[in-house]
Amino acid sequence: MKKMYIALFIAVAFCSSAFAQENKSAGNKKFMQINTIESVVSGGLGRSKMIVTNPDGSQKESDLENLFSMVGINFKNIKSNEEQVLKALKSYTDEGWKIDQVTSFTLSPADGGGVGIFMTRYLLSKPEQLL
């Protein structure tokens, strides 16, 4: 019986040590964020962008297409934006970044809903030793 308690104590101590090391390494992460802002202003008058904020705080902007043209929703622009965002996400995940969280929302300050934006934020992380 005494040997069983000793074995149980050793197993608990080992598991606790392994868990503590795992949690310690999880705290050593770098983060970056990708924001997509897509305009729903008709006629192509809006501005749509993808903004990448690197771990050092530097930013890189690239243009996206507006979702609406003079005649309504422009599905070619939607497809183009999707391809550009997926290409960026694939590039970063290939470099070892992991998508931790995705948050999306819309904003339409006008009563009729004729203007506004769709915004999506992608939070990415990477263990520090992989940088």
Cα separation, 112 vs 48, in Å, equals 21
Give kind and range of the element (H or E) at residue 29. Answer: strand 29-39
SS3 106: strand
Q: What is the pLDDT of residues 52-102, one digit of tens each?
A: 999 999 999 999 988 887 787 889 999 999 999 999 999 999 999 999 999
Give the residue, 36 or 28, on which the prediction is more confident: 36
> Residue 21 pLDDT more than 50?
no
SS3 category, 100? strand
Which string of DSSP letters, residue by residue, matches 32-99?
EEEEEEEE--GGGTS-EEEEEE-TTS-EEEEEE--SEETTEE-HHHHHHHHHHHHHHHHHHHHTT-EE
Please give the DSSP secondary-structure letter assigned to residue 21: H
Q: What is the mean pLDDT of residues 20-48?
A: 75
State the average pLDDT over residues 9-14. Answer: 53
User: In the predicted model, is pLDDT for residue 5 greater than 50?
Assistant: no
- pTM listed for this prediction: 0.72
Sequence spans of domains, the chain? 29-130
- Average pLDDT of the chain is 80
Among 29-38, 42-51, 93-102, the range scoring the smallest mean pLDDT is 42-51
Residue 29 · residue 128 · CB < 8 Å = yes
